[in-house]
Amino acid sequence: MKSAAPTFSLAHGVQLLQGGVQLFPALVQAIDGARRSVHLETYIFDTTGAGGDVALALVRAAERGVSTRLVVDGVGTGRLPSPWFERLQAAGVQLRVYSPLGPLGLLLPMRWRRLHRKLCVVDGQVLFCGGINILDDYHDPNFGPLAAPRFDFAVRAQGPLVGQAQSAMEQLWWRMQAVHDMRQHHLPEAVHALREAGVGAGVGPGGAMRAALLLRDNLRHRSRIERAYRRAIARARHEIIIANAYFLPGGKLRRALILAARRGVRVQLLLQGRYEYFMQYHAARPVYGALLGAGVEIYEYAPSFLHAKVAVIDAQARRPWATVGSSNLDPLSLLLAREANVVVRDRAFAAELRARLCQAMAQAGQRVEPEVFAQRPWRERVLDRIAYALMRSALWVTGNRY
């Protein structure tokens, strides 16, 4: 099914937040001020360090009678460890795990469809959206303490898109509730939950900005985020800057970047330079050659893990385009996971995001030179090809073409 172009609404106030150091205090403040409802979705919910501050805010909200819902992914988080699981439940936080892994785990391709979006709506008035998990900037569940903070972004938004986000979150919540009730053979409750899944939400006021919420799912919006990227890249006239953690664009998106570079647009990519996962790290390398050959500039970020999923196009032109969200430009995000991005058409916002990305490239980005890349050791090239082949084989198993 083809996805329509995103609908931009006026009267939005969108604020850029870099890292948990800016997001978590704003999130805690909003939750502590909640009077009616807090609804939070995240891939990873880790209570180490600053993540514990968010968990405590949820506890305080539930204890004072605010309807508090928390949805975590079954792979990214799974079951919360004690004593936090018991503490959240005792306070009245309603907790759901999206697609928990069964005995066969990820051996079943159906389990590869994950909840990867990071959304929080408070009182139907304010939205937080981006790539930042509930995870301390200086902590990694697999690698432990980090010497430098993770590089990532989110936004705080008000206006019509808040209602859109809340409606999507309500639908997922009640569908999950319906599945739970049907498994427990509570059919009347399941029917009620499915009816509730169609309930919309109110919206709050905001400042004068143009913004849109892009959601990716496996039903109505299968390619919405990728198409938005491709449209914006095709319309670029001066500059494209993309920062993406796991970068393995499909053929159409790759060709769009190459065509932009060939028509004179400056294309800069800030990508992961620190080894994190075998597949994501090595499978991206085989696409570097064609991009570098077309004149695309590639910078690798190495001080810490780059986790951003952002882009800014023609920030200084008449029609700037910027996006901040959870979607990587790889097949897992663009074909399988539930994702959420906010797109903003505003010069001040685009200029701020551009400045932060340019600073990261200048101060912490190692430029990939075409000659050096072509002469990388044979062992690296073999690993790159193996990872790339494995990724394509996995896509074949799911029945997707990319």
4 pLDDT tier (thresholds 50, 70, 90): low
* Structure letter (DSSP) for residue 115: B
Active site residue 314: yes
Q: Catalytic pick from 116, 139, 221, 282?
A: 116
Structure confidence at residue 104 as a pLDDT band (50, 70, 90)? confident
Task: Verify whether residue 180 is a known catalytic residue.
Answer: no
pLDDT above 70: residue 193: no
Q: Is 39 considered catalytic here?
A: no
The verdict on whether 53 is a catalytic residue reads no
* Residues 266-315: tens digit of each pLDDT: 999 999 999 888 988 999 999 999 999 999 999 999 999 999 999 999 99
Options 309, 330, 346, 384, the catalytic residue? 309
Q: Which residue in the list 152, 307, 330, 384 is annotated as catalytic?
A: 307
Q: Per-residue pLDDT averaged across 90-111, rounded? A: 88
Is the pLDDT at 203 greater than 50? The verdict is: no
CATH architecture of the domain 13-196 equals 2-Layer Sandwich (3.30)
The answer to whether 44 touches 76, Cβ cutoff 8 Å, is yes
pLDDT digits (tens, 9 = 90+) for 123-153: 999 999 999 999 999 999 999 999 999 999 9
Q: Is 139 marked active-site?
A: no
Identify which has the larger pLDDT, 227 or 104.
Answer: 227
Q: Residue 187 above 60 pLDDT? A: no
Residues of the chain with CATH 3.30.870.10: 13-196, 210-398
Q: Look up the pTM and report it.
A: 0.90
pLDDT over 60 at 198, yes or no? no
Task: For residue 223, name the pLDDT band (cuts at 50, 70, 90).
Answer: very high
When the candidates are 3.30.870.10, 3.40.50.10140, 2.60.40.1120, 3.30.565.10, the CATH number that belongs to 210-398 is 3.30.870.10
Given 123, 136, 140, 384, the catalytic residue: 123
The CA-to-CA distance between both ends of the chain, in Å, stands at 15
Task: Give catalytic status of residue 32 as yes or no.
Answer: no
Q: What does DSSP say about strands 297-301 and 144-145: parallel, antiparallel, or unpaired?
A: unpaired
- pLDDT recorded at residue 202: 39
CA–centroid distance for 172 within its chain = 17
Name every residue whose Cβ is closer than 8 Å to that of residue 124 and which is 6 or more positions away in sequence. 36, 37, 162, 163, 166, 201, 202, 203, 204
For 354-366, what is the mean pLDDT?
97
Catalytic residue among 73, 137, 314, 346: 314
Q: Which amino acid is at 54?
A: V
Residue of 39, 46, 73, 118 marked catalytic: 118
DSSP state of 316: T
Show the 3-state SS of 50-114.
Answer: HHHHHHHHHHHHHHCCCEEEEEEECCCCCCCCCCHHHHHHHHCCEEEEECCCCCCHHHCHHHHCC
Confidence of residue 107 (pLDDT cuts 50, 70, 90): confident
The percentage of residues in the chain with a pLDDT greater than 90, rounded to a whole number, is 76
Of 98-102, 154-158, 176-180, which has the strongest mean pLDDT? 154-158
